A and B are shown apart, each in its own frame.
Chain A
């Protein structure tokens, strides 16, 4: 199960509006905020495909400006198989 560490940036003062929306998404934890509009977020998902879906959903939350990845553990997926999406 991949685990990602993210910094989610919104405008200063937007944290209270952004945080509940992010927490509605599956596997998301908010670990803190620096008071400047940066939220420390951890995402855990069944697959990196799902993790990316969650990250994409975070980036679409109203008020979110950027999502910066800082950490990714993908130990369980270190033997990649041919993806189903490809022909």
Chain B
């Protein structure tokens, strides 16, 4: 690069940054244009968290050469985190899978084979399983990182083609409790409001989320709001661990892990006792619900008041411990209720719990009691972990109990409607939901699943109590197909590994936290023989139909035959999904066509029934007449809010009577610590991608265990010492980080490390929420001991 050109690029970099903060630099457009000498900029979405940051990928000579944030995007306002900026390194990375690989037995080395051979083998093995063991002996396990077109197409083939609802995805491990919370509280999945509430709110209630590391760009918006209005905005951070998120908090509530249900009930109690609730909102829109046996019973306000009166601030403070006092509970309750607008944000700290749905309900309760929803600056906003957990899996039918368009599998009418829309015979989709994730991998262990397709995820590392479930995946009578971009702990257990195109090497849609669907078109060619998943699914299905001699299987991909894979094929899949399956549903995306999204800085928030409405961005706040078109079209009365969500026929919002409940496994004399896990800013999930970016790997080459200084002093642990953390299930040995992060009695380990000695999911327990079926990663009983002083460690990434 010449000096002159470098100067131009530097000016361009400065101009881009300056434009985001309203600063005019003395540089002309000509200089800027010369600095941006890429052949084209292709606008897409980052894939390394659920925020949905929009960025432009600069392409020159068929290669990615530059990245910039999209300033007009309503998701990131132009900002991108370091992890997001470096993801381009995965495009064309030398470790990429580039050829189909096969072996008959899992202790054999892989052999390279052709796509024809690979697809024939996959078809033959799935057909064999179905013929010999029945339709429910096969399964699909997908991902919140797969594009919507991929999830939608795979689930269609499995449900209508192979006649099984064994369709699951890794969002079961992260977002299922939020789904359960939204559906049971509001009658509809996904947040009511948008990120735009961040710039309008006066109180942030951040609970169970280290958003500074897990969602850094959204955290930046929160921080900016606080810094710009230091006196008018209060940040309340609720977490047993002091995290980087806590540094902007006015109040940090630190408590014993697993006691926050008592805390939130006590807040509700204060809100009732001090008459801080919105009587009109509650009277107009809410009912109170109590779960009894198998049925939810409606109770009156007095019954709720009596129930909640048990949770006095004094009682909750005693349960919670830490720095929680009755006075601080009263203070945060008042701030929450009396703020002009309160936005709650939470993530895995509430979701990955034995009572994750209840925890979600209790946050939602606070918003319902105080009327802190459906208006600017007020929302109950569950932060999504993955870029397409909402769009693909929650909306596109990627879980065992839901069909596309938020339709429950067990609902006959909904199921028959889907069959009709797909043009397959009535009764083709089985009425019984399939196996949820933990049940599915238990069935793998038991040899009941004979063929499983794992797409874009690595359960051999991401499942809790992972050693237990890897036993099943190792079985030679379980045929395991992996579609992925890199070798992972799961490809190590596969029979067939199929190389896939990466982000920007294929076209597709991601739907982020705020109900916004955003298009990422293909910008560069995938390496070697890697292919988009929609092509793989289609070609496999053609062979499967022949193997099983079943024309209905072929019918599933009939509309997509012969289409070019870079644009026409995913577009046809998206069109079928949106125009047919979301029509009239609460996630109506008919207006969000490829043509509309391609012309936008960001994307479309559903419901968006028409293209004209979608072009403006869609629905910023659901259920509000004049803002949400379905609130008008579905209106039943003159009230300003119309809660038409599909799960509550009575159109009411439910305030739930949920008692405090602790963890499934509390510390005891033998295992006296609480082990919790989470993310770190530099890595993503199982680090199969970020572990291959040296800048990120150097910043955090291996996991460590955070120990409170008081516990460390008591156990003779010094910074850098090797510490064994052990539970009933397994153990890790990790270097110690001694600091005032976790509360005394708690240790914390990030979960990205692939090394067998530092893979913390071997230690985590696999008990799961009885409603959402989401495992309680966040709390396991454990013991720790110093093993040795510091020892040199090496980073580890799976290779073939």
Contact = CB atoms under 8 A, between A and B. Distances in A.
A36 B21 contact: yes
B92 A80 contact: yes
B33 to A, nearest CB: 14
B16 A70 contact: yes
Interface in B50-88: 58, 60, 63-69, 71, 78-82, 84-86, 88
A67 B219 CA distance: 11
Given A9-B224, A34-B23, A78-B64, A1 B1 contact: yes
B720 interface: no
A7 B692 contact: no
A44 B5 CA distance: 13
A51 B10 CA distance: 14
Contacts of B22: 34
A55 to B, nearest CB: 6
B231 interface: no
B14 A12 contact: no
Nearest to A11: B227
Interface in A12-43: 12, 29, 31-34, 36-38, 40-42
A31 B694 contact: no
B63 A80 contact: no
Contact of A49 (B88, B93, B695): B695
B13 A37 contact: no
Interface string B779-800: 0000000000000001111010
B227 A82 contact: no
Contact of A78 (B12, B65, B86, B794): B65
Nearest to B691: A86
B111 interface: no
Contact of B68 (A42, A56, A72): A72
A86 B692 contact: yes
B69 A71 contact: yes
Interface in A51-84: 51-53, 55-56, 65-84
A71 B66 contact: yes
B66 A75 contact: yes
B133 interface: no
Contact of A71 (B16, B228, B248, B697): B16
Nearest to B66: A73
A78 B227 CA distance: 38
A56 B84 CA distance: 15
B95 A73 contact: no
Contacts of B217: 68
Interface string B255-281: 000000000000000000000000000
Contacts of A67: 82
B17 interface: yes
Contacts of A9: 220, 223-224, 227
Given A29-B10, A37-B227, A66-B220, A81 B94 contact: yes
B799 A3 contact: no
Contacts of A49: 694-695, 698
A69 B92 contact: no
A70 B80 contact: yes
B88 A70 contact: no
B450 to A, nearest CB: 35
A75 B94 CA distance: 17
Contact of B10 (A3, A56, A84, A86): A3
A87 B796 CA distance: 7
B6 interface: yes
A42 B14 contact: yes
Contact of A87 (B13, B88, B89, B799): B799
A4 B92 contact: no
B25 A71 contact: no
Given A1-B6, A68-B220, A70-B80, A40 B21 contact: yes
Interface of B: 1, 6, 9-10, 12-18, 20-23, 25, 58, 60, 63-69, 71, 78-82, 84-86, 88-89, 92-95, 216-217, 219-220, 223-224, 227-228, 247-248, 691-699, 701, 794-797, 799
Interface of A: 1, 3-7, 9, 11-12, 29, 31-34, 36-38, 40-42, 44, 48-49, 51-53, 55-56, 65-87
Listed from nearest, the 4 A-B pairs whose CB atoms lie closest are A5-B13, A52-B695, A83-B694, A68-B79
Given A3-B10, A83-B692, 18 more contacts: A5-B14, A6-B17, A32-B23, A38-B21, A42-B10, A48-B86, A52-B696, A52-B698, A66-B219, A69-B85, A70-B16, A71-B66, A72-B13, A72-B67, A76-B1, A78-B60, A80-B93, A83-B693
